[in-house]
Amino acid sequence: MSPQPKSVALIGSYLPRQCGIATFTADLAAAILENNPRIDCPIVAMNDRRDGYEYPDEVQFQIGQDNLSEYRLAANFLNLRDPEVVCLQHEFGIFG
């Protein structure tokens, strides 16, 4: 049996944003943490509106989908966190 990762970063839309990817990302995070509550699982949420959303605490970084500089900041954030796995959820329009 291979060892489980200690950290998994998730990038995609996230609840309360209303879209299928947001629901999937939230469900995936819940499943990961249910399987191993000690795993580091930061969420990077994609915003489709300027004011963003009122995210739960697990969302640790937000990217305005049309703000290119925020993509670089998110990359810096993830590089500092140094996750073993990055899971990127993609759907047309999420990334501006």
pLDDT confidence tier of residue 72, bands split at 50, 70 and 90: very high
Q: Is residue 58 part of a domain?
A: yes
* Domain range for 17: 8-88
Quick check: is 23 in a domain?
yes
- Range 76-84 average pLDDT: 97
Domain assignment present for 96: no
| Close Cβ partners of 91 (under 8 Å, ≥ 6 residues apart) | 13, 19, 20, 21
2 domain residue, yes or no: no
**Mean model confidence pLDDT for the chain:** 94
Q: What is the dihedral of CA 91, 77, 37, 90, to 10 degrees?
A: 10
Q: How many domains does the chain have?
A: 1
pLDDT of amino acid 4? 81
Question: Tens digits of per-residue pLDDT, 17-46?
Answer: 999 999 999 999 999 999 999 999 999 999
- Within a domain: 3: no
Share of the chain above pLDDT 90, in %: 88
Position 61 scores a pLDDT of 97
Name the nearest CA neighbour of 87 among 37, 30, 25.
25
Whether residue 24 lies inside any domain: the answer is: yes
Q: Is residue 94 part of a domain?
A: no
